[in-house]
Structures are given as C-alpha cells and as structure tokens.
Amino acid sequence: MNKAIFLHRSIRKYKSDPIPEDLLKNILEAGSRASTTGNMQVYSIIVTKDEDLKKQLWECHFKQNMVLEAPVVLTFCADFNRFSRWCRLRKAEPGYNNFLSFFTAAIDALLAAQNVCIEAEENGLGICYLGTTTYMANKIIDVLKLPQLVVPVTTVVLGYPDEQPGLTDRLPMAGIIHQNTYKDYTPHDIDMIYSLKESMGIYQQFVDEHQLESLAQVFTEKRYTKKDNEFFSEEFLKAIRRQGFLQ
C-alpha cells in the first residue's frame, strides 16, 4: 500500500520554508510521467512563487490564506496552444478549438496534478487542491496571462505542513463501487452509505451551527448551493468559450 496515497490529507496551514529547487523539479517531473492522450501532453503547469502574483491568485481563490502561506502555487491548465502552434509551424492545420479537445486536455492536466501531489507527499510536503479554480477561471486567465486554448482546471498549493490533521472520513467502498453495471441506490442504500458520516460529531456541529435539519442541507443551503453552481457554471462556460474551446 502506497503510504502517500493512504495517508493523504489536505493541508491548509503551511510553514514559510521554501521548497528546494531540486525537489520541486523532481515533483513536477513526476507530473510529466502521467498518462497523456496520444502522448500529446496537452497541459501546462504554472509555478507561481512571486509574492505579488500569489496575492492576486489569493484574491481569485476566495482569499484562502494557504495561497499566501504556501511557498508554491501550481495552476494546472488544459493547454492546446503549444500543440497547435507546433502544428502550424509544421504545415499541419490544428483542429482543437472544440469541447472534446478541452476535456481531453483537462484529463491530461488532472492526471499530471495527481502525480505531482503524490510525489510531493512522498517527499514530506503537504498539498491542497483548490476547487475555486473553475469558479474563477476568467480572473485566473487574466492574472496568469493565459492565451487562447489554455484554461485553468485545478490549482494545488504546495509547501511544508504546519498542521497535522487526521485522516478524513470516506464513504464505505460499497457506496462508490458498482459491479459490472450501475446499480441505482435505494433509500436503504443511501441510509447505509451516509450513516457513518451523519453520525460524526464534526458534521453534527456544522448542522447545529447553521441551525439546519440535516448535513445534506449544509451542502445544499450553505456550501454548494444551486444558485452559486448555476452562476459559476455560466462563468466557467464563458471561460471555455472565451479561450476558444467552445463555439
């Protein structure tokens, strides 16, 4: 069992210690070894250490302090720009300004990101993914000066941990695995799958704090609301369209 995988926890507090250049290089190279569609490597990784730029990214990421604290911010981008430029310089007409190509490139970027995280954690670093990347893609495009056919899909902050959180709960494996085909969930299945989570003190506290009736309501009414999801859907689609991946 891979220790980094099984002991993974997101780190939200970082020491100010910088990451040695050799180590960072090695971690990024781990990213480049991930599977990639047709070996095209249609992604880019933006390594941001500059304080002023990190501050601008911090604004993009809802001012989560770990963006300022962690010495390195990695923005993983779906990138068909480099490949298309290569094509044009080689008398080949690229046809990658479409949604399939965006999604293909996003897969490449995300697999590379996970390799980077595992290699980082194996070397004593902590990581945290920032889901705010898709919400704020348009602003991130401006800050990082992303050209056409480049869209940020996730961000990872990287640094030496200044906290030691416990392992986070997960649903029972039977809740996420299906044998052969998808078996839809009965109300009984749902009760079984979510019972452990619902019984945990930390989640009951969320429910009480917000004076709600259930943990599910914390998600639908506070954390991931329909209104926000719809707003940020439009924003993210706008970014994909603006960068030339959707007509």
Distance CA 215, CA 194 (A): 10
Q: Output the smallest distance, CB 237 to a second copy, in A.
A: 6
> From CA 79, how far away is CA 225, in angstroms rounded?
30
Minimum CB distance to a second copy smaller for 69 or for 119: 119
Q: Does 55 bind a second copy (CB under 8 A)?
A: no
Q: 170 to each of 9, 62, 125, 199, 211, how far by Cα in Å?
A: 12, 26, 22, 13, 24
Please select the residue that binds a second copy; options are 35, 65, 199, 204, rule is CB under 8 A. Answer: 35
Q: Which is closer to a second copy, CB of 69 or CB of 134?
A: 134
Residue 53 sits in the site that holds a second copy (CB under 8 A)? yes
Residues 120, 27 contacting (CB under 8 angstroms): yes
153 touches a second copy by CB under 8 A:
yes
Nearest-approach distance from CB 23 to a second copy, in angstroms: 11
Q: What six digits make up the tokens of 37? A: 């569609």
Q: Which of 54, 66, 10, 60 is CA-nearest to residue 232?
A: 60
Residues 93-112 that bind a second copy (CB under 8 A): 93-96, 98-101, 103-104, 106-107, 110-111
| 3-state secondary structure at position 85 | helix
Site for a second copy in 214-243 (CB under 8 A): 214-217, 219-221, 223-227, 229-230, 232-233, 236-237
Asked if 199 touches a second copy (CB under 8 A), the answer is: no
